[in-house]
Structure 1
């Protein structure tokens, strides 16, 4: 089930920020973060998910992606690994055609070994206490250990303040996270930049990377961008 697919646009977050990309957004999520900017993928209290999603054949998504010259395909959600039995079939023909794929995941669902293929990267975004969720729901040690050890993951965290950075540091050390990106929370330019300015010097001092939310700065909270 997908919520939408769109592009070409720009990857707005993480190591590929600013690069042309196609997006495939899968429906459903196993978490419910208070600041989530895609509640239409999971929040049944506010949305009719039957109207917000549709079944699309994997072969149709492959054809759609290959019709564009864009080489980066981002699979996001929701939580994509809830539907991972379909992702290998999506990834294989795209990677064979010279495309790259990034899967955005919250780090609570272990990837199938079949997904650990060359050319595919996991952008893992473990949720902090600022998500409003208890630690036992948002931090799954075995999953984070697997993703960290696989060598195909970068870790990006939504942060608001210095306490969030301390929490990130504990997780980075505990799970041997080699690539850490901090992303300021917000769905408006003012909020994103405000948090970024607050956190930037501390992020630099810790040796991490800072990722703005480029799509928010360019298009606000507009869906499909």
Structure 2
């Protein structure tokens, strides 16, 4: 069973799949504690805030209400809503708190591609064909370490940056990691000009890529 905060269809605004129509499945629950998190309403699982799965598609603002559903129910909701996107982004919260194999395998059988966006602090339980985006969260309030196994599994590593120490954190994480088949992104926190310039300079210096959260510039979800 998965605890679902919201489901919506939009354009992926980050990383390799930027510009791709996608169904976002946001799961509830995250103990990592990132200070700049823009989805803090997904952190806690409060039993008295349980709602029906269909209501997760009707949210007009951030809410910590959540629904519980299995993979079949989630797929059925996609079909009921007649979503046209064939790429599913599983995010959170921290989606890797859950075993994502049953959900992803079912979606693949129905012709969807899947992507996970994770902090890299929980083991990734998902099929090999699932695209894994690790946005490593280092020295956060929750005290969780970024797992080497997550970095190794990642198809892309997308690191949030606001200051030079964040670039240095990524440099340390990549030591000894085979990045030949991985995409490495820097993503400025909160689209601030100083962070963006730092990210650009670091990308040029290391031959990394820049991710700029296109959806926020466009003013869409």
TM-score by length of 2: 0.81
How many Å separate the matches in 2 of 1:174 and 1:75?
Answer: 28
Residues 49, 168 of structure 1: CA spacing in aligned structure 2 closer, same or farther, 3 A cutoff?
Answer: farther
Q: What corresponds to 2:35 in structure 1?
A: 34
Residues 147, 198 of structure 1: CA spacing in aligned structure 2 closer, same or farther, 3 A cutoff?
Answer: closer
Q: What corresponds to 1:182 in structure 2?
A: 186
How many Å separate the matches in 1 of 2:200 and 2:121?
Answer: 28
Aligned runs of 1:1-225 on 2, under 5 Å? 1-7=3-9, 9-43=10-44, 50=50, 52-66=65-79, 67-84=82-99, 87-112=100-125, 115-118=126-129, 120-129=130-139, 132-133=140-141, 137-140=143-146, 143-144=147-148, 146-150=149-153, 152-177=154-179, 178-186=182-190, 191-219=191-219, 225=221
- Summarize deviations over 1:95-150 as a string: whole Å, max 9, x none: 122211001111111123xx2332x1111111135xx537xx2424xx32x23444
C-alpha displacement at 1:53, in angstroms? Answer: 1.0
SS where residue 98 of structure 2 aligns? helix
Unaligned runs of 5+ in 1: none
Residues 31, 157 of structure 1: CA spacing in aligned structure 2 closer, same or farther, 3 A cutoff?
Answer: same
Number of residue equivalences: 201
Residues 36, 49 of structure 1: CA spacing in aligned structure 2 closer, same or farther, 3 A cutoff?
Answer: farther
- On the 8 A contact 2:163/2:198 being kept in 1, the answer is yes
SS where residue 28 of structure 1 aligns? coil
Residues 128, 219 of structure 1: CA spacing in aligned structure 2 closer, same or farther, 3 A cutoff?
Answer: same
How many Å separate the matches in 1 of 2:185 and 2:90?
Answer: 19
How many Å separate the matches in 2 of 1:194 and 1:22?
Answer: 32
SS where residue 159 of structure 2 aligns? strand
Q: What corresponds to 2:60 in structure 1?
A: none
Runs of 4+ in 1 over 6 A off after TM superposition: none
SS where residue 167 of structure 2 aligns? helix
TM-score by length of 1: 0.80
SS where residue 40 of structure 1 aligns? helix
C-alpha displacement at 1:18, in angstroms? Answer: 1.4
**Greater percentage in helix:** 1
Residues 16, 192 of structure 1: CA spacing in aligned structure 2 closer, same or farther, 3 A cutoff?
Answer: farther
